Structure 1
Amino acid sequence: MWPRHTDRAYPMASVIPLGRVSADAGALAGAKALNLAAMMRARLPVPDGFSVTAEAYRAHVSALRLGRPQRDCLAAIRELITASELATETAAEIRAAFRRLRTPLVAVRSSGTAEDLPGHSFAGLYDTYLRSTDADGCIGLVKQCWASLWTERAFDYRDKNGFEHAKAAMAVVVQQLVAADAAGVIFTADPVSGSANRIVIEACWGLGEALVSGKVTPDRLVIDRDTERVVERFVSTKSVETAFSPTGSPVEQTVPAARADKPSISDAIALKLARQALRAEKLFGSPQDIEWALAGPNLFLLQSRPITTLGKPPGRTVGAEAKSWEDRQVWSNTNSAEVLPGVLTPLVWSTVGEFIGDLLGSVIGRLGISFGDNPFIGEVAGRAYTNLNTFTGMVRRMPFASRMNQAQMFGGQNLKPEDRAKLELGADDLPDIKVSPLKTLLKLPGFLLWMSRHGPGRGREWIAASLDAYEKKPRPDLTRLSEQELSDKAIATLLQMRVGGEGLGYALGGMMFTSVLYDLCKRWFNDPTGINASRLLAGTGELRSAEAGIDLWRLGRLVADSPELRETVLPAGSWTDLRPRLEITEPGRDFLARWDRFLHLHGHHARGEMDMYNPRWREQPDYVLDVVRSFARAGDKADPEVDQRRHAEEREHLKVALMARLRNPVKRWVFDYVVRKAQLSASIRENVKDAAIRVFADTRALVVELGRRLAARGVFADADDIFFLRFPEIEPVVSETAGNDVRARVAERRAEHERNLALSPPAIIVGKYDPVKHKPDTVDASAELKGLAVSPGIVTGPARVILHAGTEQVVPGEILVAPFTDPGWTPYFIPAAGIVMDQGGLLSHGSIVAREYGIPAVVNVGPATKLIKTGQLIQVDGDTGRVRILK
């Protein structure tokens, strides 16, 4: 079961100096040692060391008589490997080789004999140890490396890729450890785009562990291979580094502020490193991924392996074959995570994809463009991700849209360089969006006419008519409907969305005017951050979700202004207990009338309200009551309606001042026209979405009642099990033709839902999502964060970090820090002094509401909720997009 091998150059060898590892010793010393030895022979700068061979490993485990390796006994295997004594002769050889290194500082790394085969990379699967030790300590570290061959992750990787566990073996490389001033990796070809002409360097201060572990965003340089010039340079704020403690163990420490923003390597060192790396590439005959370290003026190459994830550059293949179409798909949640946050249930998935596809298809179809079978939205670990291949292919074929700054409008502008590089899609990466240039040209006049009929004036009329129709629609008693009627009505309600193309047309028209306004301010008034455009759009009114916040504030003021209501409403207690007490007094009945009106108008809202799984406000009266109580206690918060009137005056004064700077009368007319249209459009996108949310809320009510009925007759274990069926699966369950596996199907999907909740996929993913390959986005701690300025003004105050709406309240004067916001978060905006969001763009809900309320806001910050803590004093600069952590 644990076979032994010999190598003809070193029969039964246990320890070999690196310089003596021959080119045919791969099965004995492993790929890492083989490559290091080759670089040493080529006189490349490699730290001295030795290989503890795979034969030593086999001899060690053979003596343990482990039997057939099984996943459930991996911990026991690791314990046996590390606890058992090494053979006397092997231990003596390691001690002698260790003494020849003449340093206690060593790097002990795996050198697996199956490592980095074509198309596979074992990088990061096995343990590495960097520390000061003695000879016996070195033996212990070697055994720890061997044991890492039997972690669950390594075991699963071999299973997934078809490697036999019984043949798995590991050599170990022990090298002199470089006490690096800076370190990183260099790729002799761009691993993302596949361009062989781009040499990519990533660097950080200290040892490379801070980079590998994701604790710091590295500096990034790109060198043109032909000209040997640095053509791209990104310098990050590197607030932490890994260095050696006085005891010789690696420790994470803060980088002094004077050094944090400086380049970790100079251009001269980068060019020197590139030349050394190209020598290694020539030596091995393929593009290489090389770890390096810089100590003083001296460069060292620590290991080299082929780039196993090399992409396909436009127009040609790299390596033996091109990446598959699936592997070249680029997925992003930079906007979809705001609209559809979190892990979605199967019921929601079965409606959202079709709903979004139908809406967009109805618009681009007017230009003779069709997605065909290409996906626009997809599921990644249960979350909604946009397919950027399809999106880019569509945008490049649509008039006007190709000129719009999508990142600024919707989010994604603050991406790291490595993520931005993933978005550089070549022509070969774009799907065959079905379009005939002649057909599009012929349809263009009709499309422009259709867009002209979807101006902001008509948009407001359409929204008002939709709201009026909703108000007049009869509300049936759901408890009186049969299961079949509930199912049919839910489907019929959702079908209303199929005619939602009109609403999307009004939303697109409004977005176009907003985009043009920001562009004009940038071009005509030297306003790169868009502060003037944001001020011109502040407090324009008629935003339904903002009205929900104001109506809640009014309920709070009603309580605050009435001694009787204060005495009744403010003490702790549930809505169920409170309502009967309100019904017996005149002030109480007045409050109830306004309360009921509020829930009628706004009760369809919820956190993550596009997800029907989430309960609506009307289902959670205790949450709404807590918000009303917090507003009643706030007392000193200014009336938001007064703020809106003040913003209206400021808008008009700013518009007059800006128009006075335009000497050309045509420009003045154009600017005045665009401002008026953009101000009329400011609320339309959100109000169109509000109309859609009403439909989703009505559908949820039907589904919840149906789930309750099916649970009552034993079909489901719980009423909300219905959300773990897809919509087409509900009808067979109702008609009792679904078979007997419904509960098992639901249980399996619930388990998958729970597994997905534990995952943290990054914002940008290339290919099929793999939790091992696609690590969560790294967070670089910094005292200053940069995002997108969306609502002007500068404010300083304590932070209130809230990850889930409904869990806590914002105290007046606090700055709300949230991952995203939708109308379910609106109550937090009234008392907030400022807004900071991880995600978002100029047209995101939080941005629009912040401008409506006149609150300074910065969005698209990235890791704000991970770096800022509740209670910290922060400054939000809504003019420049900076967020500073003061203390």
Structure 2
Amino acid sequence: MLHILDVSSPSDRVASTGGAKAAGLQALQRSGERVPPWSVLGTDIFAEFVDRAHLAELITGLDSAPEAALAEIRSRILAAPLGPELSRLLAAAHERAGGGRVAVRSSGLDEDGDADSYAGQFSTVLNVTTGLESAVRVCWASAFSDRLASYRLARGRSVSTAGIAVVVQAMVAADISGVVFSADPITGDRRRLLVSTVYGLGEGLVEGLVDADLLVIDRARRLVLETVVGEKANRRDAADGDGITTSTVPDADRVVAALDGTTADRIVETALRQERRLGRPVDIEFAVADGNLWVLQCRPITALPPAPLLGAKERTEPGARRIWDNSNIIESFNGVTSPLTATTAAEVYGRVYLEYARSLRVPPAQLRQMSRWTPAMLGIFHGRVYYNLLHWYRMVGIAPGYPLNRRVLEVALGVGEPLAAAEARRLHPFVFRSPVHRLVSRTVTTVVYARRLAGIDRMMERFTQDFARAYDDFDRDDLDSVAGDELYRRYRAAVDDLVKRWGPMMVLDAILLTLSGAMYALTKAWLPRAPEWLMYAVVNPGLNVESAEPALAMRELARSVRDDPELADFLAATPPAEAYEALARSRWTAFARAVDQYIGRFGYRSVDELKLEVPDLREEPASLFLMLRSATADAPLTAGPDADVYLDEHLRGIRRTLYERLRRKTSRAVGHRETLRFRRTRAFGMVKRTLRALGRDLVARGVIDEFADVFLLTVDELRDAYEGAPNGPSYRHLVAARRAAQSRDALLVAPARFVTSGDDFGAPALAEQGWVPVAATKAATLGAVLVGVPSAAGIVRGTAVVVTEPADIAGGILVAYRTDPGWVAILPSARALVIERGSPLTHLAIVARELGVPTVVQLPDASTLIRTGMHIEVDGAAGTVTILDDEREQA
């Protein structure tokens, strides 16, 4: 059924069928600006008109022969009657716009976008009282002009899919009209605003027909820096008749459009307010009538010089609220992360989850909807990577069981502040055009999902075998002997192949959420008094999980060092950076071979192993000796309670049988996920090696100075270096600027969670959200009990060692803001773990439980409240850390 759109219509419908002008008007009005009454004939009404006028076939053929068809299409649009139903809808639109004199404006779906404005490409008819149908047809016909067709084709867009809506808006009898730019559109200078004004209606200003007056205003001080008066008389537009007529304003009135200081201030404040809402510089069309300021249109400026890395690239509703949370993403990307790592991760995440949805048979129309938000599942702020959290809730909604899965997601991600239930229910990965389509699609997805759940073991086995073959083939290549262009081709092919392989495997995360949720529900129902640690203890995959192998192998190396005091003294006295070469020349040949075997098996591993800029063990074995040095203490471990003992005492009979069956399935899923993540580490190792070779090639070409500079480029810039025509000196300047920015960013506190509105990711807006320079913080006082989330049971007392990397633990209690899978090798040396961020389901937490290391996670401010040298008690079952004095520690 066809409907007229207005400010009360659902915003997603206005954006999808009302075009950019309509969406902008709705957002403006909802943000509190004074907007003349308006309504919209959406693209669905135009589609109905096309169908009745028998134009569909002609429009479909436009891409192959646009010149031959455009004139005929325009002619038939201008001649075809609307018919009774469409005429009734148009009358209703006119009534909602006030019923008097109106402006009729085209509203293209692609118009006023982040990249292209389509400025001047569509028609507008002003001062319409009669002939409303004619004005609407003029706007529809403008979507098929020769210049618009050329504009679309030049940007790689189809002419035949040009969407066109029409805005009907009450005319304002303007005394003054104009446009304000919140940044200089010529130079890109954001310190200056430009206000351009004329008498009467502003259409002549926009179309360049009137020589306007100009104010240049300093943003910070609100001072007029420059005044430019038009060289010829402005004109005042008449207030009667359809279309535009004008009368000349006397030369004596040729001043800066008579703007008083108060009105100018209001215009500036409006521009800055809307810039904050949209998160980028804007240009606003306005009118002043009887002292009232009316906002007619607002759009982002698309012609400014390129901006630095922003927090997200997504097509979304202006002013949209986003929640950014670093949760367990810091396990993968801790601290300041290189532009290449961050943008590669964002691209891969988006593509992988689209493949995941495709593997669950999500229909193409819904996949297209997902493509609007999947590229922005991660955000990049001052070099830090964050989850764009609301999109992760949307992602969970792809599989069945969303109400339970989203709660398990919050635990799995370590989200400290769960989303309000009402807001969570409003989030959808996509929408359907009818309840029937939704039912059919969701049924198909559920059936496919159930099959994957039942056959996940076989699916994982096939994936593991296929990946092993691909990895072995890659590992045999000598990348430095491959020409740069061929190397880049292989790099893109490898990424594409990994995305296609990985996408379907993401069902494992959904399955784990489902099974963990079922385990949680069953445990609460049948064991209502069960301690919190039981939930995590019952679903461990066992020590045979592949991701525990590095820790076990490191334990064996450490045992060899302890058994040979002279070797221990040798390694203690040798700087880690020199240890590998020194060991190769030493008499400890057997131990040197064991180290080589470790590097051969786990050489792709490193601390921060998913950060492409961090060298792995093959490139820099020093980190292995740092981990080995701290692991030689082999701290005594305190075993936690046995889950089987508790279950034997509290659960028997058929309930125990069913519980164990679900437990085994869930434990295998946990093991599969750990294996998959281990494979992900290998995949990133492949990418690391390739990018280093590409970096050396770019140095040889003179594009950058050092191979490591490649990590200061974005993935798009790397693509341009091989697929476009890069400018070597500009890349060098870019690298230097980003290196300096990284140094500044490292001095900032990165909040665990913050909220933005629109796309304002500038320093002032982020400072309000907690991005401030690092300042002194108070330490916890003696006797204080800090409460986090239990992860691995056991009680341990010892000395805290607060670290940012896995080094020099030596039997202390490891306290860290976060960890990553590369830290598992030091677990044998840690008496306990206290992790500020993360969750009980993170990689390190799972391995820590298997090795019996008491662990508390999600303990707020742990890395600042606890200081190295403090005596503390960690209770992994209760999730507490107590600050002890010396006497209590000795007792």
1:818 is displaced (CA, Å) by 0.9
Q: What does residue 592 of structure 1 align with?
A: 592
Deviations 1:581-611 (A, max 9, x none): 54564xx332222212211221212222222
TM-score, normalisation: structure 2: 0.57
Q: Which residue is equivalent to 1:446?
A: 447
1:609 aligns with 2:647: no
CA change 1:855–1:652 in 2 (3 A) is same
- Which residue identity lines up with residue 743 of structure 1 in the other structure? R
Q: Does 1:372 align with 2:360?
A: no
* Alpha-carbon spacing, 1:546–1:352, altered in 2? closer, same or farther (3 Å): same
* Equivalent pair of 1:711/1:718 in contact (CA under 8 Å): yes
After superposition, where does 1:97-108 map in structure 2 within 5 Å? none
Which residues in structure 2 correspond to 1:739-754 (within 5 Å)? 739-740=727-728, 741-754=730-743
Aligned residue number for residue 810 of structure 1: 809
Task: Identify unmatched segments of 5+ residues in structure 1.
Answer: 1-153, 169-305, 312-319
Distance 1:471 1:407 in 2: 34
CA pair 517-817 structure 1, distance change in 2 beyond 3 A: same
Distance in 2 separating the partners of 1:670 and 1:427: 31
Kindly provide the CA deviation profile for residues 701-735 of structure 1, in whole angstroms up to 9, marking residues without a partner as x.
12112323433554322221111223343355358
Q: Which amino acid aligns with 2:768?
A: K
CA gap of 1:872–1:327, structure 2 versus 1, over 3 A, is same
Task: Specify the SS of the correspondent of 1:723.
Answer: helix
* Distance change in 2, residues 1:877/1:346 (3 Å): same
Counterpart secondary structure, 1:476: coil
Contact 2:792/2:854, CA 8 A, preserved across alignment: yes
Q: Quick one: which of 873, 878, 883 aligns to 1:875?
A: 873
Mapping of 1:538-549 within 5 angstroms? 538=540, 540-549=542-551
Deviations 1:219-273 (A, max 9, x none): xxxxxxxxxxxxxxxxxxxxxxxxxxxxxxxxxxxxxxxxxxxxxxxxxxxxxxx
Distance 1:613 1:160, change over 3 A: farther
Aligned to 2:770: 775
Residue of structure 2 in register with 1:522 after alignment? 524
Q: Residue 532 of structure 1: CA displacement?
A: 1.4
Task: Tell me by how many angstroms 1:620 deviates.
Answer: 2.3
What CA deviation, in whole Å up to 9, does each residue of 1:504-531 have, x standing for no partner?
Answer: 2334334433333233223321257631
**For 1:550-577, what per-residue CA distance to the aligned partner results, in whole angstroms no more than 9, with x for missing partners?**
2112112122223564465443245656
Contact kept? 2:631, 2:826, Cα under 8 Å: no
RMSD: 3.9
Letter in 1 for 2:747: A
Are 1:835 and 1:856, in contact at CA under 8 Å, matched by a contact in 2?
Answer: yes
Match among 875, 882, 885 for residue 884 of structure 1: 882
Contact residue 511 and residue 685 of structure 1 kept, 8 A: no
Q: Go from structure 1 to structure 2 and tell me whether the alpha carbon gap of 1:394 and 1:719 turns closer, same or farther (over 3 Å shift).
A: closer
Q: Distance in 2 between matches of 1:423 and 1:388?
A: 14
Instruction: Give the drift of 1:163.
Output: 5.2
| Separation (CA, whole Å) in 1 of partners of 2:548 and 2:710 | 33
**2:711 and 2:355 mapped to 1: Cα distance?**
28
Partner of 1:36: none
Aligned match of 1:551: 553
Q: TM-score when scaled to structure 1?
A: 0.57
Cα gap change, 1:629 to 1:877, in 2 (>3 Å):
closer
* Superposition deviation, residue 549 in structure 1: 1.5
**Pair 1:797 & 2:786 matched:** no
Q: What count of residue pairs does the alignment treat as equivalent?
A: 566
Cα distance in structure 2, aligned partners of 1:495 and 1:554: 38
Question: Within 2, Cα distance between the matches of 1:465 and 1:583?
Answer: 39
Kept in 1: contact 2:613–2:688 (CA 8 A): yes
Shift of 1:821: 1.2
Q: Which residue of 1 aligns with 2:456?
A: 455
Task: Kindly indicate whether the alpha-carbon contact (under 8 Å) linking 2:396 and 2:510 is maintained by their aligned counterparts in 1.
Answer: no
Contact 1:455/1:510 (CA < 8 Å) preserved in 2?
no
| 1:462-498 per-position Cα deviation (integer Å, ceiling 9, x unaligned) | 4366346534655222332222233223223322321
- 2:530 & 2:646 partners in 1: Cα distance? 17
Select which of 361, 365, 386 maps to 2:354.
361
Q: CA deviation at 1:789?
A: 1.1
Q: Aligned equivalents of 1:471 and 1:717: distance in 2?
A: 32
Q: 1:343 aligns with which of 336, 349, 354?
A: 336
Tell me, yes or no, if the aligned pair for 1:410 and 1:842 is still in contact at 8 Å: yes
Residue 329 (structure 1) aligned with residue 322 (structure 2): yes
Q: Match of 2:221? A: 164
1:838-877 superposed matches below 5 A? 838-877=836-875
Distance 1:521 1:408, change over 3 A: farther
Answer yes or no: is the 8 Å Cα contact 1:411–1:860 preserved in 2. no
State how far apart, in whole Å, the 2-side matches of 1:734 and 1:520 are. Answer: 55
Please say which of residues 371-380 and 790-799 is displaced more in the overlay. Answer: 371-380
Q: What is the identity, as a one-letter code, of the residue corresponding to 2:842?
A: S
- Show the counterpart of 2:5: none
> Is residue 2:656 matched to residue 1:656?
no
Shift in alpha-carbon separation, 1:828–1:508, aligned structure 2, 3 A: same
Equivalent residue number for residue 141 of structure 1:
none
Structure 1, residues 257-305: CA drift from partner, whole Å, max 9, x if none? xxxxxxxxxxxxxxxxxxxxxxxxxxxxxxxxxxxxxxxxxxxxxxxxx
Q: Which amino acid aligns with 1:717?
A: D
User: Which residue is 1:206 aligned to?
Assistant: none
Deviation for aligned residue 1:849? 1.7
**1:676 matched to 2:664:** yes
> Would the alpha carbon gap of residues 675 and 545 (structure 1) be closer, same or farther in structure 2, given more than 3 Å must change?
same
User: Which residue matches 1:708?
Assistant: 696
Asked if the contact 1:335/1:840 (under 8 Å) is kept, the reply is yes
CA contact (8 A) 1:514 1:681 kept: no
Q: In 2 relative to 1, CA 539–792 (structure 1 residues): closer, same or farther, beyond 3 Å?
A: farther
Specify the SS of the correspondent of 2:808: coil
For residue 618 of structure 2, give the secondary structure of its aligned residue in structure 1: helix
User: What is the SS of the residue equivalent to 1:618?
Assistant: coil
Q: Work out the percentage of aligned pairs sharing the same amino acid.
A: 24
Q: Which moved more, 1:821-830 or 1:858-867?
A: 821-830
- Partner Cα distance (1:583, 1:709) in 2: 33
SS of 2:496 mapped into structure 1: helix
Does the 8 Å contact 2:533/2:790 carry over to 1? yes
- Deviation string 1:334-391 (CA, Å, 9 cap, x unpaired) is 2323332223323223321221112222223325253131232222333222223333
- 1:624 and 1:443, CA in 2 relative to 1: closer, same or farther beyond 3 A? same
Task: Report the alpha carbon displacement of residue 800 of structure 1 after superposing the two structures with TM.
Answer: 0.9
**3-state SS of 1:614 partner:** coil
| CA distance in structure 2 between the partners assigned to 1:513 and 1:422 by the alignment | 23
Counterpart CA distance in 2 for 1:155 and 1:729 is 29
Shift in Å at residue 395 of structure 1?
3.5
Which of 342, 345, 362 aligns to 1:352? It is: 345
Q: What are the residue-to-residue correspondences of 1:253-292 with 2, within 5 Å?
A: none
The change in CA–CA distance for 1:346 and 1:567 in structure 2 (over 3 A counts) is closer
| Mapped partners of 1:449, 1:428: distance in 2 | 25
Residue 718 of structure 1 is matched in structure 2 by 706
459-468 or 760-769, which moves further after superposition? 459-468
Q: Given that residues 779 and 866 in structure 2 are in contact (C-alpha distance below 8 angstroms), is that contact kept between their aligned partners in structure 1?
A: no
Unaligned runs of 5+ in 2: 1-190, 194-215, 226-272, 279-293, 299-315, 886-891
Partner of 2:59: none
**Which residue in 2 is equivalent to 1:389?**
390
